[in-house]
Amino acid sequence: MDVDPRHYNHVAINDNDVHNIVLSYLVHNCYKESVESFVASTGMKQPADCLEDMEKRKRIFHCAVEGNALKAIELTEQLAPDLLGKNKELHFDLLSLHFVELVCSKKCTEALEFAQNQLTPFGKVEKYVSKLEDFMALLAYEEPEKSPMFHLLSLDYRQQVADSLNRAVLAHSNLPNYTAMERLIQQTTVVRQSISEENAKNGPPPFSLKDFIRS
């Protein structure tokens, strides 16, 4: 049988643990003012060099989300000089964002030249071939936003690349690239799914994270 939430309501939670989880989330997502307020109100010790690095990461993140990929690359190389050289896939994703911006701005000739100079070399590696084909196909459409590859122009795609970049920068700085809250949710999901699977014969409903959060 699945665990009734009432069975662990009595378990004490240390306030410092809760504070660290919240602070981890705020730092990860570059909420500088919120970090300052939270640290001041809880009396926690502010992480070393936290605010300065946060500002740099925040600027990089926003550049990527806004489609200013070349600036994001420049700032990343200043903060983590060897990161993109080692993480080719992330470098490709950032360059592809710039290509998309050129296509959306109807600068097709410039987009083609950029692709030939910056993206085509990645085609020597098999895993980039299909990605290259998708991006290059955008040039065939007068309205690329209506093409089968429209998702490459979306805010969601830019957000995905920006999130990957933020995680990579954190890892490069020997900081956790996932928040404590994300890790707890991942662990809770795995444990509860295992419990549900073990008790499947008794007929409990499949584990739902959404329902668990509401309970």
Residues 192, 195, 196: CA angle, nearest 5 degrees: 90
Tell me the CA distances in angstroms from 200 to 100, 151, 180, 207, one per residue in order. 47, 38, 30, 11
**Same domain flag for 147 and 164:** yes
Candidate from 29-38, 59-68, 131-140 with smallest mean pLDDT: 29-38
Q: Residue 63's pLDDT is what? A: 97
Name the domain count of the chain: 2
Say yes or no: 41 and 59 in one domain: no
Q: What is the dihedral of CA 136, 142, 146, 149, to 10 degrees?
A: 0
Contact 79, 169 (CB under 8 A): yes
Give me the half-sphere count of Cα atoms (radius 13 Å) on the Cβ side of residue 82: 3
Query: Which band of pLDDT confidence, cut at 50, 70 and 90, is reported for residue 201?
Result: low
80 and 42, same structural domain?
A: no
pLDDT at 144 over 90: yes
Instruction: Kindly tell me if the per-residue pLDDT of 19 is higher than 80.
Output: yes
Q: Are residues 110 and 155 in the same domain?
A: yes
Range of the domain at 166: 48-177
What pLDDT does 79 receive? 94
Q: Is 118 left (phi over 0), alpha (psi -120 to 50) or beta?
A: alpha
Token pair, residue 179, equals 């928040």
For the chain, what percentages of helix, strand and coil (3-state, to nearest 5) are there? 75, 0, 25
Distance CA 121, CA 88 (A): 11
Q: What confidence tier does 1 reach under pLDDT thresholds 50, 70, 90? A: very low
Interatomic CA distance for residues 103 and 115, integer angstroms:
11
pLDDT at 16 over 70: yes
> Do 39 and 58 reside in the same domain of the chain?
no
Within-domain flag for 89: yes
Q: Are 76 and 90 in contact (CB under 8 A)?
A: no
Provide the mean pLDDT of the chain. Answer: 87
The pLDDT of residue 5 is: 57
* pLDDT value, residue 6: 59
60 within a domain of the structure (yes/no): yes
Amino acid at 70: L
The predicted-structure confidence for 50-96, as pLDDT tens digits, reads as follows: 777 899 999 999 999 999 999 999 999 999 999 999 999 999 999 99
- In a domain, residue 209? The reply is no
Do 74 and 84 belong together in one domain?
A: yes
